[in-house]
Amino acid sequence: MAATKKKKRFTIPTAMIVGVWSEAISKETTWQAMCMHLWDELQKDEQLAANNKPALDEDDTEWASWSNDDKFKFISERASRKAVLIRKTVKSDYPNRAIEQIMPFPDGYHRRPGGSGSMSTGAILKAFGQSP
């Protein structure tokens, strides 16, 4: 049996997505606008961009010329997984909190394509204007 090649990992730091997400909620922006802002932030961080390049190259060597729609399709799926995991973690640590109301997904989340900055769950709640 041949060994399967391990897929390169695309990293979205928790602190970065929480910052972009909480800002999107406060400004009432859409899921797509939030994802595009997240993409831009990921590209601005030179070290993170360099670390994520192998995963992007593995997906498509022409990623640097992607349209905004292509970028959105790529980042939306990954941002969704990360956001759901963050909400689950916060809900687990704070079961008596209305996490879905505190940390809602921006408009358009349910219509999205495809349907090392760790933070404590208390810090995540604070980013959304709540005390732990």
Per-run averaged pLDDT (10 residues), the chain, 132 residues: 71 96 94 96 95 93 94 94 94 92 87 60 81 79
How confident is the model at residue 2, as a pLDDT? Answer: 55
Give the residue carrying structure tokens 């970028």. 71
Angle at 113 between CA 112 and CA 118, to 5 degrees: 70
Name the residue with tokens 């996490």: 99
Supply 98's token pair. 């209305």
Which single residue is written with the structure tokens 């360099």? 50
Residue 4 Cα to chain centre, angstroms: 27
Residue with token string 């704070």: 94
Residue spans of the domains in the chain: they are: 21-127
